[in-house]
Amino acid sequence: MRYRLTVIGTGYLGITHAACMAAMGFEVLGLDVDADKIARLNAGELPIHEPGLEPVLRRGLDSGRLRFTTSYEEVAAFGDVHFVCVGTPQKRGEYAADVSYIDGAVESLAPLLDRACLVVGKSTVPVGTAERLADKLVRLSPVGAAAELAWNPEFLREGFAVQDTLHPDRIVLGVRSERAEKVLREVYEPLGDVPIVVSDFATAELVKTAANAFLATKISFINAMAEVCEAAHADVQLLSKALSYDDRIGGRYLNAGLGFGGGCLPKDIRAFMARAGELGADQALTFLREVDAINMRRRARMVDLARELAGGSFHGCTVGVLGAAFKPDSDDIRDSPALGVAVAIGHQGGRVTVYDPIALDNARKAHPELSYGESAVDAVRGAHVVLLLTEWQEFVELDPEQLGGVVAARRIVDGRNCLDAEAWRSAGWHYRALGRP
């Protein structure tokens, strides 16, 4: 049987999942409570920047297999399998995750279900959420246990969302019945030979948080080494390169720099600590506090380095900031290290002008107090210090001579260790980087 799928929540995850499932041949109905977003999606317009996604979306719409709605009634009537992809942001003023959107999705859908179906959580949640939602689903659905829950965490990265969805390195299925496992195996069958791990709910939920905690730890490990390198006049780039040849360590997520941001890693490690605390296992994750602290210290160090180059104070100083997104190939500015640094320098009296190839509109909305340039050259015009904070390819390829012609002083801090230090120095720039002499 070809199941009809629905996708509830159209953020980075939901849009990608919906479009890719349609590309795999399924009929898919996406839902969001934001009518404006739904109208744009139905018109083939992406509300986010995600390379390669728009053509997949458009092909889905053109084929007639993909459409979007704001109606839970329609979703309940349409779907055999309902994927829940809503956000679980950090609670304001707390470490814990706000799971109200996911509870809201189940509460809206469940009472409308009139036949057997599978509700599949994909959002990142505190362990124990699936068990709670499974009870809620059965309690609220008129068909009782015929509406079943499963947990199927998502590992896609922004910037590579389509690739990661169509070619995942593993699929994790948290299920309570053979029926649920069978349905999900059939759904993912078109992806071919992908390792599948079948588990209980709690393990499936934990795989996701553990994976993000590991990645965050790896990044903070190399950034801690960068701190030591700075103190010992060593070079973290060479250190990282040498470590990477050890297969047991590997070179991915070992790039030292301004550290991690975005809508996932920072809030996920915090929510993980909060949940472990509730479970009485807080000691097991106290190291994540350090991982978080190392990460945040990189931003502070960047501000210090910029101030040092500015001559000890930002007063009367113009700072050109290259990058606003939390990483290249994304317009996402959630917990962006780049913007964090820009805002901090503004608070300390610097005149900051920011440029980003894609994330400028989002940055402008979130931080109207900063100035924005229309290009890299525009943003650094008259600058006493230039900061490279997001490693967009366009910045990596900047010509130090050309840029040198418009700045007030040739001083640059490479926050992502992505520039050719020699090329910049020989063009007369005072070049500094995090974790390097």
Q: Is 272 in the site for ligand UGA (CB under 6 A)?
A: no
Q: How far is the CB of 217 from ligand UGA (least distance, A)?
A: 12
**Which residues have a Cβ under 8 Å from the Cβ of 255 and sit 6 or more positions away?**
219, 222, 240, 416, 417
Q: Is 257 in the site for ligand UGA (CB under 6 A)?
A: yes
**Window of 22-30, 48-56, 251-259, 347-355 that interacts with ligand UGA by CB under 6 A:** 251-259
Q: How far is the CB of 207 from ligand UGA (least distance, A)?
A: 11
Task: Tell me how many degrees the CA angle 131-132-136 measures, rounded to the nearest 5.
Answer: 115
365 is in an annotated binding site: no
The burial of 233, by beta-carbon neighbours within 10 Å (0-12 exposed, 13-18 middle, 19 or more buried), is given as exposed
Known active-site residue 264? yes
DSSP state of 10: -
253 is in an annotated binding site: yes
388 is in an annotated binding site: no
DSSP state of 157: P
For residue 220, give the H/E element and its range: helix 201-232
261 is in an annotated binding site: yes
Q: How far is the CB of 10 from ligand UGA (least distance, A)?
A: 15
255 is in an annotated binding site: yes
Q: Which CB sits closer to ligand UGA, 215 or 345?
A: 215
Report whether 294 contacts 224 (CB < 8 A). Answer: yes
**Window of 142-150, 180-188, 189-197, 264-272 that interacts with ligand UGA by CB under 6 A:** 264-272
Residue 41 tokens read as 């999606």
Q: Is 151 in the site for ligand UGA (CB under 6 A)?
A: no
Strand partners of residue 199 = 174
Q: Which CB sits closer to ligand UGA, 180 or 271?
A: 271
CA 141 to each of CA 108, 111, 148, 301: distance values in angstroms, whole numbers, following the listed order: 10, 5, 10, 53
Q: Which CB sits closer to ligand UGA, 14 or 79?
A: 14
In degrees and rounded to multiples of 5, residue 220 shows phi and psi of: -70, -30
Residue 13 tokens read as 């995850």
Q: Is 434 in the site for ligand UGA (CB under 6 A)?
A: no
210-229 binders of ligand UGA (CB under 6 A)? 212, 215, 219
**Window of 155-163, 172-180, 225-233, 281-289 that interacts with ligand UGA by CB under 6 A:** 155-163
What is the C-alpha separation between 135 and 59, in angstroms, rounded? 38
Strand partners of residue 120 = 83, 150
Which of 90, 237, 255, 318 touches ligand UGA (CB under 6 A)? 255
For residue 57, give the H/E element and its range: helix 53-63
Q: How far is the CB of 379 from ligand UGA (least distance, A)?
A: 20
Q: Measuring CA to CA, which residue among 91, 118, 113, 86 is closest to residue 102? A: 86
Query: SS3 of 8, please?
Result: strand
What is the C-alpha separation between 233 and 365, in angstroms, rounded? 40
Which of 264, 288, 341, 385 touches ligand UGA (CB under 6 A)? 264
**Window of 32-40, 190-198, 263-271, 282-290 that interacts with ligand UGA by CB under 6 A:** 263-271
327 is in an annotated binding site: yes
Q: Which CB sits closer to ligand UGA, 301 or 410?
A: 301
What is the C-alpha separation between 372 and 362, in angstroms, rounded? 12
**Window of 254-262, 308-316, 381-389, 424-432 that interacts with ligand UGA by CB under 6 A:** 254-262
Which residues does the annotation place in the binding site for NAD(+)?
Answer: 32, 37, 88, 124, 158, 267, 334
Which residues does the annotation place in the binding site for substrate?
Answer: 155-158, 208, 253-257, 261, 327
Footprint on this chain of ligand UGA (rule: CB under 6 A): 124, 154-158, 212, 215, 219, 253-255, 257, 259-262, 264-265, 268, 326-327
* Catalytic site positions: 264
